[in-house]
Amino acid sequence: MQDKVNIHEALETVKEHWSQKVIGEANGQMFKVAKGAGETKWHKHDDQDELFILYKGNLTIQLRGRNIELYEGDMFVVPKGIEHCPKAESEAEFLIAGINVTSNAAGGKPNVLPN
């Protein structure tokens, strides 16, 4: 059985932007914490929806044609196959639910990472 995890404490351990840390699994879906600042590359996930829950700051989910502004407590699902580009003016902290880890090049992680 998985131990309980505090999401705020897990977020404190994340040091790299746009890198996800898996903190739990349920029904084949992984729950991951991440921080972001700046923006990823435009990308899409053909195999999975990507659910965001904001914990701190402001995250803009740029979609083709419109932006979704997320603040603390907001939940939003980027459907599979939809191009998106998350952007944060200053550091944002969030939970992601999805089938697998997307913090790699295919997941839109930028080549040059902020310090």
Q: Residues interacting with a copy of itself, by CB under 8 A?
A: 1-2, 4-9, 23-29, 31, 48-51, 53, 68, 70-71, 73-77, 79, 82, 97-99
Shortest separation between residue 55's beta carbon and a copy of itself, angstroms = 8
Q: Which is nearer to a copy of itself, 6 or 111 (CB)?
A: 6
Shortest separation between residue 113's beta carbon and a copy of itself, angstroms = 27
Please say whether the beta carbons of 99 and 26 come within 8 A: no
Q: Which two tokens stand for residue 26?
A: 């349920």
Shortest separation between residue 112's beta carbon and a copy of itself, angstroms = 29
How many CB atoms are located within 10 Å of the residue 73 CB? Answer: 8
Q: Which two tokens stand for residue 68?
A: 């979704």
CA count, 13 A, side-chain hemisphere, 70: 26
